[in-house]
Every structure is written in structure tokens, then in C-alpha cells.
Amino acid sequence: MSPMPVTQIQADPQQEALEWFSRLRQPGCDERERQAFGRWCQDPRNAHAYAELEACWQQLQPSPARPRPQQPNIKRSRRGLGLALLFLLLLGALAYLYWPLMQRLGSELYTDAGERRSVRLADGSTLHLDSASAMNVDLRARTRVLQLVQGQVYLEVKLDGRALEVQVDDARIQVFGTRLMVARHAGHDELVVFNGKAMIVQGADQRLVAAGERVTFNEARIEPVHKADVKAADAWRMGQLRARDMPLGEVIERLASYQGRRVWMMDEQTAYRRVSGDFNLDRPGETLQALAAGQQLQLYDVLGQWLIVP
């Protein structure tokens, strides 16, 4: 019986390529093994199998991280700067809008929008505060000091042998009588004396105001003294605004303040238009609508805080 022929096992290039791929990445791979790998690759089939394996491995690897370009960083910086500026603008707008309320809450005596209140002080004097008004009071020293922060106040002064002074920013009003009114408006401040006298001093300027007289002033100067319509000046305590040839913008401002709103008059000529009449401060919304209809004006409410008059 003749012997069976010996079967020669054919090498598998893919399997060997996988083995070489693993061996070449081992830490102990030396030059001798790399030379053996070179001889193995001399066979075209082996070289082709290893090239396919290498290509497949490269496809499975994640793409290398690319360096970040500078422009996106610049864009992000600009975007961050824009957001910061927008935040500051919003913060400034809110501070401007709510600053009057913050001032009132930080004062010793104050009234809310639409509220009128009378307060009797420890020295016996009485303060009648109008809507959205605020005051600070110091009665401890030889000179009693009242500071009008916002709004307007009617003072009935109790004479007790000490001087009394009303401060409105840098202006000082030295009181020599018993009844007077001090008011702060959008563009000016005002003093009306009902009984006795008062001296207003601001820097080197001063005016003596007698009973039945009024004077307006601002941070720059004190205007000349004029005769006052005392009934019109005092009407707000009874819930009435008596306008006698008063600028329309000031009338709208007073009515809007009773609703806690601020006014933006876009037309200057309309703001200075003169009007006369009696207006109900206790029903400011209805009164404003009637006034706007009579003057052919459109009123635009913004978030219940602003009243825009185009």
C-alpha cells in the first residue's frame, strides 16, 4: 500500500497580517522582528493583506483634533461683550425706571402713587404729603431739617423757638412762617408761602418769599418771585388739580404720577401748550383720557410704567 501524500498547509495572509499587526505594536518589538516582518512583506499577497488591515484600522480611528481657529474665539468674545453691554443697558433702564420707587422706599416718610397722607411730627408740626412723595426728617438739632426727596408737601409748622429749614437738593429754604408748600416737578422745583415768610438760598443767590407769593428754582438759578394763586396751589389736598394757563405737559405729568407712570412727551410744542381747567386727581385714568380727547392726543401705555404722548 502506497503512502498517502503529505498535504502542505497554505499560510493565511490575513491571519498572519493580523499577528504581525499585533506584534509590531508590542513594547518588546525589536529590530530583529522588524527585519522578519520585512521579509514576510516581500510576498505580494502578504503585503496586500497587511495594507488592507492598515487601511481598515485608519478608518476606525477618530479624526485628529484640529487646532481651533482664532476667529470663533473672537466671535465668542464679541458675543460675550455684546451680552454684557446688553445686560448693563437693561440694568440701567431698570434702575432709571425704578429709581423713584427706590428713593421713596429709602426715605423716612413716603406715600405710594395715588396716596395722600398727613403726618404729625414730634415737634407738633404737620406734613401733608402728596402722591408719590418722600421726605427725610431730623428734629434733633437746634435747626430742624426737612429734606424733600420727591413729590410735594404742604407744611404746617409748629413754632417752638428753633429754626426750621427745608432742603431740596442744594437749595435751602429757611422758614419764618407757619404754612408753606414745596414741590418738585420734572423741570423745576417750587415754593409757595401761605403764611409768614421764607428765604430760599442756593449758592450766592437768594430770594425772600412773602405770604401769597411763589418762586420756582432749579439747580442753576432761582427765578424771580411772583404772585401765587394760593387756592390753585393748595387744591391737590382736596383731590383737585386746578390748572390756570399751565403747560399741558405738566398737567399730564401730574395726572400720570397719580398712576405711578412717567411721561414722555415727544412733541415739545404740545408739551408747552397752555391749558386751564379743574382735573380730578382721585380718578386720574379717566381724567387723562378726557384730557387727551379734548386736546386730540393719543396716549400709549408701555408696561404700565410709561405714558408716551407722540
pLDDT (tens digit, 0 to 9) for every residue of the chain, 310 residues total?
444 444 444 567 777 877 777 777 766 677 788 888 888 888 888 887 777 777 766 665 555 555 555 555 555 667 777 777 777 776 665 555 566 767 778 899 999 999 999 999 999 999 999 999 999 999 999 999 999 999 999 999 999 999 999 999 999 999 999 999 999 988 899 999 999 999 999 999 999 999 999 999 999 999 999 999 999 999 999 999 999 999 999 999 999 999 988 888 989 899 999 999 999 999 999 999 999 999 999 999 887 778 889 8
Q: What residue has cell string 492598515?
A: 54
In this predicted structure, what is the pLDDT of residue 56?
A: 67
Residue type, 272: Y
In this predicted structure, what is the pLDDT of residue 6?
A: 40
The distance from CA 200 to its chain's CA centroid, rounded to whole angstroms, is: 34
Looking at the chain, list the stretches that DSSP marks H as alpha helix, in order from N- to C-terminal side: 13-24, 31-40, 44-60, 70-105, 230-234, 248-257, 268-271, 284-295
Query: Residue 202: beta bridge partners?
Result: 205
Residue type, 181: M
Q: Cβ neighbours of residue 121 under 8 Å, at least 6 residues apart?
A: 127, 137, 139, 158
Q: What angle do CA 231, 236, 239 make, to 5 degrees?
A: 120
Query: Residue 240: beta bridge partners?
Result: 280
Closest CA relative to residue 171, chosen from 133, 225, 104, 221: 221
Is 307:252 a contact under the CB 8 Å cutoff? Answer: yes
The reply to whether CATH 3.40.50.80 applies to domain 239-309 is no
Is 274:247 a contact under the CB 8 Å cutoff? Answer: yes
Q: Cβ neighbours of residue 109 under 8 Å, at least 6 residues apart?
A: 119, 127, 129, 134, 135, 136, 137
Helix (H, G, I), strand (E, B) or coil at 144: strand
How far apart CA 126 and CA 122 sit, in angstroms, is 9
Q: What angle do CA 305, 243, 257 make, to 5 degrees?
A: 15
Q: Answer yes or no: pTM beyond 0.75.
A: no
The reply to whether CATH 2.60.120.1440 applies to domain 109-230 is yes
How far apart CA 69 and CA 65 sit, in angstroms, is 12
- Where are the domains positioned within the chain? 109-230, 239-309
Closest CA relative to residue 168, chosen from 180, 184, 187, 154: 184
Helix (H, G, I), strand (E, B) or coil at 115: coil
In this predicted structure, what is the pLDDT of residue 303?
A: 77
Residue type, 67: P
In this predicted structure, what is the pLDDT of residue 76?
A: 61
In this predicted structure, what is the pLDDT of residue 32?
A: 80
In this predicted structure, what is the pLDDT of residue 217?
A: 97
Is 163:144 a contact under the CB 8 Å cutoff? Answer: yes
In this predicted structure, what is the pLDDT of residue 2?
A: 45
Q: What residue has cell string 525589536?
A: 30
Domains 109-230 and 239-309 share a fold: no
Helix (H, G, I), strand (E, B) or coil at 226: strand
How far apart CA 85 and CA 90 sit, in angstroms, is 9
Q: Cβ neighbours of residue 234 under 8 Å, at least 6 residues apart?
A: 154, 181, 194
Helix (H, G, I), strand (E, B) or coil at 263: strand
